[in-house]
Amino acid sequence: MTDMKMSAFFTHTQKEAPKDETAQNAIFLARAGYIDKLAAGVYSYLPLGLRVLKKIENIIREEMNALGAEELLLPAFHPKENWETTGRWRTMDDLYKVTDAGGREFALGPTHEEIIVPLAKKFISSYKDLPKALYQIQDKFRMELRAKSGLLRGREFIMKDLYSFHTDDEKEFDGYYARVKEAYKNIFRRAGIGEKTYLTYASGGSFSKYSHEFQVLADAGEDTIYLCEKCGVAVNEEIIAEQSACPECGAAKETLRKERAIEVGNIFSLKTKFTEPFGLFYKDKEGAEKLVHMGCYGIGLGRLMGAIVELGADGKGLVWPKEVAPFDTHLLAVGNSAAVNTEAESVYAELSAAGRETLFDDRDTSAGIKFADAELLGVPRIIVVSEKTIAAETVEVKDRKSGEVKMVPRKDLLVS
């Protein structure tokens, strides 16, 4: 992605939190100019926010491709008939419905089983066509009555949804499901929240004993989980009453620790729940017709971004983990003398040429404002050029997270 000079930026920071926001993630992201609220649960991603969103998207895409899944892009506009086939046109309360000029009804997709299963029917007919995995990164709609948590709960939100198709060989499915778990762990680790994210047992619905969620510990979370410190998995409150012990390691129920958490991903075995109503069959080796088995696996990109903020932000502002940060380096020219500006431009050119994505605060404004904005924006590494650093033939390098400052010889800029 391109480097940027702040003097040319569309957005600027704001001292005051938006009046109608209570969630920490929305307050910081709005103040720093990453997002803008259009309506409850409906946000614009401003240039800085879109950079973070694309970093998250790239991590997810790489991990999905590594699983061998193929990316596609399905519409948001869904014929009513597809949702009537599964019965969810009537049972799903939070489905947005739209009427066309001709009186024909459509749903705005909150998920895509109703679209991908009839699509898969066009291409899957034999055990030779299985397994297959398809995913998309796409805009979803859900009629949320209480969208007060910033990016954590949206009426319109971008999701990665992966669907896998299998024979009735349970071992094969279990192997795939385990690989997706690992891919999810990679994603949350790379997004900088791996250490606080726990695989969590949740309700499996009518077809499976359990589904699994990935829950990250955070006071802002809307979920309550019971964490087993012995084995490092958790149980969602919704099924804790049914448990007599940790379902993973058997530790006594009393040892589980109650925590608030944000659900950042979920994975389900759907078995034949959706392939049956659409009649998605395959011929097995003996020529017998059998229903295809399915799994589905979701991650909300905006919610993940919100969770990263909830976990990382400190009193001064945002703190981005390296792989999702909008820039690698935030360069500040402090004290706007000609010498400082020349030296800062030279440092900027050198960082850019080396492929370090750099945000350059070249504005004609005070050092205080520049430092405060850098803390608020949360780029991991802040480099300061000033009369003092020029005299000492150094640059000042500050780590946003630890606050640690070191003077680095100017010639060692790229190894700092």
Characterise 67 by phi-psi region: left (phi > 0), alpha (psi -120 to 50), beta (else). Answer: alpha
Least Å distance, CB 252 to its own copies, is 43
Query: Is residue 36 a contact point for its own copies (CB under 8 A)?
Result: yes
**Which of 11, 208 has the CB closer to its own copies?**
11
* Binding track, positions 68-107, relative to its own copies; x by CB under 8 A: x-xxxxxxxxxx----------------xxx-xxx---x-
C-alpha span between 202 and 208 (Å, rounded) = 10
Least Å distance, CB 389 to its own copies, is 29
**Which of 142, 190 has the CB closer to its own copies?**
142
Judged by CB under 8 A, the residue of 53, 117, 220, 294 near its own copies is 53
Task: Give all strands (DSSP E) within 189-311, no chain letters.
Answer: 197-203, 210-217, 223-228, 233-236, 257-271, 281-283, 289-291, 293-300
The CA-atom distances, in angstroms, between 265 and each of 40, 151, 174, 187 are: 22, 14, 18, 10
Which range of residues in 30-38, 178-186, 374-382, 408-416 is near its own copies by CB under 8 A? 30-38
Please provide residue 305's backbone torsions phi and psi, each rounded to the nearest 5 degrees: -65, -45
Which range of residues in 135-143, 211-219, 221-229, 307-315 is near its own copies by CB under 8 A? 135-143
Query: Is residue 369 a contact point for its own copies (CB under 8 A)?
Result: no
**Which of 203, 341 has the CB closer to its own copies?**
341
**Which of 77, 242 has the CB closer to its own copies?**
77
Query: Is residue 155 a contact point for its own copies (CB under 8 A)?
Result: yes
Cα-based torsion angle of the residue sequence 12, 7, 361, 318 in order, rounded to the nearest 10 degrees: 20
Judged by CB under 8 A, the residue of 27, 42, 367, 372 near its own copies is 42
Burial environment of residue 232 by CB neighbours within 10 A (0 to 12, 13 to 18, 19 or more): exposed
Exposure b/e, 327-356, CB count within 10 A at least 16 = b: bbbbbbbbeeeeebeebbbebbeebbeeeb
C-alpha span between 30 and 33 (Å, rounded) = 5
Least Å distance, CB 8 to its own copies, is 7
Which range of residues in 141-149, 188-196, 338-346, 403-411 is near its own copies by CB under 8 A? 141-149
Query: Is residue 122 a contact point for its own copies (CB under 8 A)?
Result: yes
Least Å distance, CB 265 to its own copies, is 21
Total site size for its own copies, rule CB under 8 A: 51
Query: Is residue 115 a contact point for its own copies (CB under 8 A)?
Result: yes
Which range of residues in 20-28, 67-75, 329-337, 377-385 is near its own copies by CB under 8 A? 67-75
C-alpha span between 96 and 106 (Å, rounded) = 9
Token pair 């979370």: residue: 221
C-alpha span between 401 and 359 (Å, rounded) = 17
Query: Is residue 287 a contact point for its own copies (CB under 8 A)?
Result: no
Token readout for 33 is: 């100019």
Query: Is residue 271 a contact point for its own copies (CB under 8 A)?
Result: no
Rg for the chain, CA atoms, rounded: 25
Least Å distance, CB 51 to its own copies, is 9
C-alpha span between 389 and 384 (Å, rounded) = 8
Query: Is residue 67 a contact point for its own copies (CB under 8 A)?
Result: no
**Which of 100, 387 has the CB closer to its own copies?**
100
Q: What is the largest CA-CA distance in the chain?
A: 81
**Which of 134, 239 has the CB closer to its own copies?**
134
Residues lying near its own copies in the complex (CB under 8 A): 2, 8-12, 33, 36, 38-39, 42-47, 49-50, 53, 65, 68, 70-79, 96-98, 100-102, 106, 108, 115, 119, 122-123, 132, 134, 139, 141, 143, 145, 155-156
